[in-house]
């Protein structure tokens, strides 16, 4: 292999026997003989991926598309059924944090044990010990048995050990969704540090916004085969497009269900039927860009005449926080009497939202603002990208100026 | 093989440390249990077999007019326990470390050998008691030194078989129960509770089985050097060592070859 790649997957395939067909006792094995091969399935197949040294590589795909299997193949927990895998340097996996912890041992003892399992020498462990303890933020409890730790503390300790073993290749599987805000941020900062140090990182995540900011390249897996490989923004874009079309297909099937909006809260005098993303000119849009005006449009059906409703759009970031809420009452806009089918649009001037995934919840109140008419959670989900390709810290970009004196 | 063992010494030691510090952590008497259990067995067996069945131990090496059934029995027990302890413990290690092996890639035999280190500490404690027993009896001899290579060979034998069976047991969970039954039978087919000469007077087939049992070779050699204070014929100990090493090598090789994708089976 050339030395430009940290990991090279050459036509890799992994076949599993279905669990139901595994001979787990000798008696079964003897009585029923060898397993028939009809129940095999390929978790991944024909995968050709080259991960350049010093890059951050993302793996995306729906659940069961083979992402985690691929990571396990790279770490060596699984052997490929066909093809070959070459890795250059020490590989560490953040697949299951704290997997090697023994509940009766103290945090410090577990750091030693986990470090040894991950391949560190005694000297390396002892020299990293203080950094690990500081990073985990668990100094106070480090000499208590880990069985008294909360699950969050457990994971923090596991992450701290794994990232401080100075791996050449770090595999990260969905573990960034753990720990509190502060620790998550710390983890991300650390991943950026590792990246700056020229280490290779492979990330599996459903947080597409996070991936888009972090990754240089992304491979999109679908049912165990590679659909597309390329720059993060492009691949994530086409992945989202696929997800959206499939969702639209599924939605079309349940459209009648949605029409029957009896499950929703509110009086029901108005029901929101369909929500769309628009650009500044009112044309449909797939994703929005930071700095570019865009709109949200909702089609509502009035079952009776309604006086001056308040139609609100709430924006929620993928990590949970409510970012902002748009309300026509707050803007002093009165729709007057409305009836029949109407479309209502709100435009966000020079979109201040930073790159990420956002969900829109729509609710409608009556003119007094006290009676709920309709409430539609998750009406719409969309991605905000940055035209400049970088990711911001936080959710919004506020107007600001700098001065130097 | 040796090189690989040496390279992983830190990891083996880390697992040994884990098992060592957690083995009796929740019990009051702690390590005393590891001695109380074999001593209780010794007491019961010694009482039943010497008083009820009236089995005579051979004469002591230091004084042909005296015998000690308890010392004879304990010599055999320690040797057999060394073998069976390593075997049983090794066999279940892959399963008890399954959580880890499914998620992290590292040599799967390291937790097994780590556990064995702890088991060896227990055997060492038993040996101390055995030696104390012989000192008290005044049955002391230079032939004791030969016990070291014999025990080493026994340990390699048990470890080798344990490594082989651990992979099989990871895939077919009932192997460990079968082995338990076989070990129980072997215990009685090894001259531990009776001197070998007693079997020679019985049915030929039985004597043949007992003599063909490899454990008989190890236990008999221990009886000779520790109890009778004689040295076995010159080829016996090199033979046992070669046998033990061969089994260990075979176990290690088979284990390495068949455990590469062990993470999938646990």
Between A81-90, A262-271, A284-293, B34-43, the lowest mean confidence (pLDDT) is in A262-271
Say whether residue A143 is in contact with chain B using an 8 A CB cutoff: no
DSSP structure string for A160-196: HHHHTT--SEEEEESGGG-S-HHHHHHHHHHHHHHHH
B73: confidence class by pLDDT, cuts 50, 70, 90: very high
CA distance A57 to chain B (A): 21
Mean pLDDT (whole number) for B114-126: 92
Contact status of B204 with chain A (Cβ, < 8 Å): no
Angstrom distance (rounded) from CA A29 to CA A169? 40
A278 close to A319: Cβ distance less than 8 angstroms: no
Higher pLDDT, A169 or B150: B150
Q: 3-state DSSP: chain A helix, strand, coil percent, rounded to 5?
A: 30, 35, 35
Residues 90-119 of B with CB under 8 A from A: 99-106
Distance (Å, whole) CA B19 – CA B115: 6
Beta-strand relationship, A372-385 and A288-289: parallel
Q: What is the DSSP secondary structure assignment for residue A395, as one 8-state letter?
A: S
Task: Using pLDDT thresholds of 50, 70 and 90, give the confidence band for residue A259.
Answer: very low
Distance, in Å, from the CA atom of B110 to the CA atom of B104, rounded to the nearest integer, reads: 13
Q: Provide, as residue numbers in chain B, all residues whose Cβ is less than 8 Å from the Cβ of A112.
A: 14, 17
Residues A88/A6, Cβ–Cβ less than 8 Å: yes
Look at residues A356, A242, A366, A347 and name the one whose alpha carbon lies nearest to residue A298.
A347
Q: Which residue of B7, B12, B13, B18 to mutate against A (max A Cβ within 10 Å)? A: B18
Residue A304 pLDDT more than 90?
Answer: no
Are residues B167 and B263 in contact, defined by beta-carbon separation less than 8 angstroms?
no
Considering CB atoms only, which of A79, A118, A122 is closest to B261? Answer: A79
State what percent of residues in chain B have pLDDT above 90.
Answer: 59
Query: A1 pLDDT band (50/70/90 cuts)?
Result: very low
> How does pLDDT run across A35-44, given as a tens digit for each residue?
554 567 888 8
**Given B26, B103, B172, which is nearest A95 (Cβ)?**
B103
- The answer to whether the beta carbons of residues A190 and A221 sit under 8 Å apart is no
| Residues on chain B touching A23 (C-beta within 8 angstroms) | 172
- B-facing residues of A in 80-99 (CB < 8 A) are 91, 93, 95-96, 99
Does position B203 have pLDDT exceeding 70, yes or no?
Answer: yes
Instruction: Find, among A128, A182, A192, the residue nearest to A160 by Cα.
Output: A128
What's the CA gap between B252 and B266, in Å, rounded?
Answer: 19
Nearest to B25 among A95, A99, A104 (CB): A104
pLDDT at A257: 47
3-state class (DSSP) for residue A207: coil
Element (H, E) at A304: strand A294-307
Asked if residue A170 lies in contact with residue A200, where contact means CB atoms within 8 angstroms, the answer is yes
Cβ count within 10 A of residue B74: 26
* Contact between B174 and A29 using a beta-carbon 8 Å cutoff: no
Least confident of A315-324, B16-25, B180-189: B16-25
- pLDDT at position A99 over 80: no
Q: So what's the pLDDT on residue A28?
A: 64
Asked if pLDDT for residue B113 goes beyond 90, the answer is yes
Cα–Cα dist B99/A299, whole Å: 52
Return the pLDDT at A232. Answer: 85
| pLDDT over 70 (residue A34) | no
Contact at 8 Å (CB) between B71 and B133? Answer: yes
What secondary structure letter does DSSP report for B226? I
Q: How many CB atoms lie within 10 A of CB A60?
A: 28
ipTM for the whole complex: 0.76
Cα distance between residue A192 and residue A89, in whole Å: 19
In the numeric block, which tokens belong to residue A131?
């950094």
At residue B184, the pLDDT reads 95
Please return the burial class of A387, using the count of CB atoms within 10 Å of its CB with bins 0-12, 13-18 and 19+.
exposed
Q: Is B204 helix (H, G, I), strand (E, B) or coil?
A: helix
pLDDT of B123 > 80? The answer is yes
Please tell me the pTM assigned to this model: 0.72
What pLDDT is recorded for position B129? Answer: 93
Task: State the average pLDDT over residues B230-251.
Answer: 95
Please indicate whether residue A29 or residue B8 has the higher confidence score (pLDDT).
B8
Size of interface A-B (CB pairs under 8 A): 76
Identify the H or E element spanning A325.
strand A322-327
Query: B266 and chain A: CB distance < 8 Å anywhere?
Result: no
* For range A309-314, the mean pLDDT: 92
SS3 state at A75 = helix
Give the separation between CA A67 and CA A114, rounded to whole angstroms.
25
What is the reported pLDDT for A175? Answer: 60
Task: Compare CB distances from A112 to B14, B99, B178 and report the shortest one's residue.
Answer: B14
Q: Percent of chain A scored above 90 by pLDDT?
A: 11
pLDDT tens track for A106-133: 889 888 888 888 778 888 888 889 998 9
pLDDT 10s digits, A46-64: 999 999 988 889 998 888 8
Residue B171 pLDDT greater than 60, yes or no: yes
A78 in contact with B, Cβ within 8 Å:
yes
Q: First-to-last CA distance in chain A?
A: 55
- Tally helices (H) and strands (E) across chain A: 8, 17
């Amino acid at each position: 292999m050339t030395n430009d790649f940290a990991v090279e997957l050459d036509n890799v395939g992994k076949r599993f026997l279905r669990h139901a067909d595994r001979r787990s006792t000798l008696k079964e094995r003897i009585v029923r003989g060898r397993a028939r091969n009809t129940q095999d399935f390929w978790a991944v197949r024909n995968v050709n991926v080259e991960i350049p040294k010093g890059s951050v590589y993302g793996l995306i795909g729906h659940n069961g598309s083979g992402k985690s299997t691929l990571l396990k193949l790279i770490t060596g927990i699984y052997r490929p059924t066909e093809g070959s895998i070459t890795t250059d340097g020490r590989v560490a996996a953040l697949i299951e944090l704290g997997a090697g912890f023994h509940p009766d041992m103290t945090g410090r003892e577990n750091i030693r044990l986990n470090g040894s399992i991950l391949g560190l020498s005694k000297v390396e462990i002892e020299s990293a010990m203080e950094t690990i303890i500081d990073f985990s933020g668990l100094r106070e409890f480090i000499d208590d048995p880990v069985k008294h730790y909360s699950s969050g503390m457990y994971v923090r300790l596991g992450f701290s050990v794994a990232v401080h073993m100075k791996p050449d290749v770090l595999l990260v599987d969905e573990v960034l969704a753990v720990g509190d805000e502060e620790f998550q941020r710390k983890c991300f900062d650390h991943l950026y540090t590792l990246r700056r140090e020229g280490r290779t990182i492979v990330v599996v995540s459903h947080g597409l916004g996070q991936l888009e900011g972090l990754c240089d390249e992304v491979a999109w897996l679908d049912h165990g085969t590679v659909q597309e490989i390329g720059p993060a923004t492009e691949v994530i874009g086409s992945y989202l497009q696929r997800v959206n079309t499939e969702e639209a297909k599924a939605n079309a099937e349940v459209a009648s269900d949605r029409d029957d909006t009896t499950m929703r809260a509110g009086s029901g005098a108005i029901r929101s039927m369909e929500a769309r993303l628009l650009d500044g000119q009112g044309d449909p849009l797939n994703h929005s860009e930071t700095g570019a005006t865009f709109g949200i449009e909702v089609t509502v059906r009035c079952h009776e005449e309604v006086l001056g409703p308040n139609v609100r759009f709430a924006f929620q970031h993928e990590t949970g926080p409510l970012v902002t809420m748009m309300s026509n009452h707050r803007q002093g806009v009165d729709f007057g009497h409305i009836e029949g089918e109407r479309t209502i649009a709100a435009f966000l001037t020079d979109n201040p939202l930073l790159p990420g995934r956002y969900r829109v919840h729509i609710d409608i109140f009556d003119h007094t603002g006290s009676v709920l008419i309709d409430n539609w959670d998750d009406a719409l989900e969309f991605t905000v990208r940055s035209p400049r390709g970088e990711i911001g810290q936080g959710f919004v970009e506020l107007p600001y100026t700098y001065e130097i004196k | 093989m040796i090189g690989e063992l040496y390279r992983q010494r830190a990891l083996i030691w880390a697992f040994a440390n884990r098992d060592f510090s957690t083995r009796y952590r929740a019990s009051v008497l702690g390590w005393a249990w590891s001695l109380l259990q074999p001593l209780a067995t010794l007491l019961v067996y010694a009482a039943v077999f010497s008083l009820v069945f009236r089995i005579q131990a051979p004469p002591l090496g230091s004084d042909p007019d005296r015998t000690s059934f308890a010392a004879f029995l304990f010599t055999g027990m320690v040797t057999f326990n060394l073998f069976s302890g390593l075997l049983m413990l090794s066999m279940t290690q892959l399963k008890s470390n399954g959580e880890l092996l499914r998620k992290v890639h590292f040599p799967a035999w390291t937790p097994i050998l780590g556990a064995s280190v702890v088991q060896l500490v227990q055997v060492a404690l038993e040996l101390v008691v055995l030696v104390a027993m012989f000192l008290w009896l005044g049955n002391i001899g230079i032939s004791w030194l030969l016990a070291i290579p014999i025990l080493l060979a026994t340990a390699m034998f048990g470890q080798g078989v344990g490594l082989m069976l651990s992979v099989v047991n990871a895939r077919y969970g009932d192997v460990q129960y079968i082995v338990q039954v076989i070990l129980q039978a072997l215990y009685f087919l090894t001259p531990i509770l009776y001197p070998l000469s007693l079997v020679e007077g019985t049915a030929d087939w039985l004597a043949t089985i007992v003599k063909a049992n490899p454990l008989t070779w190890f236990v008999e050699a221990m009886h000779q050097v520790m109890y009778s204070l004689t040295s076995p014929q010159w080829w016996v100990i090199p033979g046992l060592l070669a046998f033990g090493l061969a089994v260990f090598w075979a176990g290690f090789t088979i284990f390495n070859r068949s455990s590469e994708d062990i993470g999938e089976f646990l």
